[in-house]
Amino acid sequence: MDVTRKPRLLYFVEAMGGGVFTYIVDLANSLVDDYDVYIGYATRKQTPKNYKDYFDKRVHLIKIENFSRSTSLIKAYKAAKEMKKVAKDVQPDVIHLHSSIAGTIGRLIFNGKKVPVFYTPHGYSFLMQGISSKKQRVYKLIEKVCGSRNATTIACSPGEYQATLELTRNAAEVDNGINIKELQTLLDSTDASGGQHYDVFTLGRISMQKNPRVFNEVALRLPNLKFLWIGDGELRSELTAPNITITGWIERNQALKYAMQSDTFILTSLWEGLPMSLLEAMYMKKMCVVSDVIGNRDVIQKGLNGFIAKSSVEFAQKIKTDSYQRKLIIDHAFMDIIKHYNTEVVSSAYAKLYQEAIQ
């Protein structure tokens, strides 16, 4: 490596939407003082239209035209060629792959000998519920085969780390975190007065992962409360309860405004990595009730900083927690974010891993 220039990080991110987008923005912006950061990416429906504005101007964004969520081998082959060309042009000192598509292709085409390779799953596909056991076995086999390659898998939660150790011993753990300073600046600049008040809200794509069926059941059990889903998606039709409002895809400032006007955050997910939306809700001092899956239960300690629910009945019960206990829980959750789940802690851990690999 030329010691006269900053080390170059090359991220490949197929799934640049939702929590992964927030994660990449925060991580890239926090490291750009000490590294030249390049990001090979693709957008999704939930990617903000002005997504480039979220990044520090020094971050280099390179679109990968053939990144796709489909299982098309032709698309994968074309994406692989693009990724190899980008790596040849950038000449990175570290390659870091994010999510399963980029992670699978990248670990197959980069051997990790001259340039160290890292991979962060952001929620393993084989942990998905609601799919056949055959598909789960196939996804796990793919991860196990790729796990034998010369790459370090960095899990973003304790549960994901334990799942990683079943696939490879070349593993590390760096828990997700949020950019507190940036989030607070956004909150300070957002006028939440005069808007509609909501009792319960969630945020994300209305998809199988987020389990809108249970969200709808909870709303039906609490007909006197107003529910809000910030986002949109292919399973929108499952949200039929009359007390649910759906915002559709909106800009981050507007999403934060809705969150500020709401009381309780719930996450009914069937699987997670370590959800950024949960961490942000904890920082915003919203009481959080989440499903019992990896990621959620890695953060939430029952009755201390939130609640874990295993059914729509339990969700409904926890949402009705009295104001005294609610305040204790909210304050505890806020301090957890300040001490542990923040970008300064995360970027420091990544910088250490990158430097050790480069040296």
pLDDT reported for residue 87 = 98
**2, pLDDT greater than 70:** no
**Can you list the domains of the chain with their CATH numbers?**
8-177+343-358 (3.40.50.2000), 180-339 (3.40.50.2000)
Which pLDDT tens digit goes with each residue over 121-153? Answer: 988 888 877 678 898 899 999 999 999 999 999
pLDDT reported for residue 48 = 87
| pLDDT tier for residue 288 given thresholds of 50, 70 and 90 | very high
Which pLDDT tens digit goes with each residue over 256-281? Answer: 999 999 999 999 999 888 899 999 99
pLDDT reported for residue 135 = 87
Looking at per-residue pLDDT, the higher value among 21 and 282 belongs to: 282
Q: For 24-28, what is the mean pLDDT?
A: 93
**40, pLDDT greater than 80:** yes
Matching residue, tokens 């006197």: 224
Which pLDDT tens digit goes with each residue over 344-355? Answer: 889 999 999 999
CA angle 47, 49, 55 (to 5 degrees): 75
Q: What is the 3-state secondary structure (H, E, C) of the chain?
A: CCCCCCCEEEEEEEEECHHHHHHHHHHHHHHCCCCEEEEEEEECCCCCCCHHHHCCCCCEEEECCCCCCCCCHHHHHHHHHHHHHHHHHHCCCEEEEECHHHHHHHHHHCCCCCCCEEEECCCCHHHCCCCCHHHHHHHHHHHHHHHCCCCEEEECCHHHHHHHHCCCCCEEECCCCECHHHHHHHHHCCCCCCCCCEEEEEECCCCCCCCHHHHHHHHHHCCCCCEEEEECCCCHHHCCCCCEEECECCCHHHHHHHHHCEEEEEECCCCCCCCHHHHHHHHCCCEEEEECCCCHHHHCCECCCEEEECCHHHHHHHHCCCHHHHHHHHHHHHHHHHHCCEHHHHHHHHHHHHHHHHC
pLDDT reported for residue 133 = 86
pLDDT reported for residue 354 = 97
Which pLDDT tens digit goes with each residue over 51-62? Answer: 999 999 999 999
Which pLDDT tens digit goes with each residue over 152-199? Answer: 999 999 999 999 999 999 999 999 999 999 899 999 999 888 889 999
- Separation between Cα atoms, residue 25 and residue 16, nearest integer Å: 10
Mean of pLDDT over the chain:
93
Which pLDDT tens digit goes with each residue over 316-342? Answer: 999 999 999 999 999 999 999 998 898
* Token couple for 74: 């032709």
Contacts of 244 (CB under 8 A, 6+ apart): 215, 216, 219, 227, 228, 229
pLDDT reported for residue 132 = 83
- Separation between Cα atoms, residue 28 and residue 205, nearest integer Å: 23
| pLDDT tier for residue 68 given thresholds of 50, 70 and 90 | confident
Which pLDDT tens digit goes with each residue over 75-87? Answer: 999 999 999 999 9
pLDDT reported for residue 1 = 54
pLDDT reported for residue 257 = 95
Matching residue, tokens 């170059």: 8
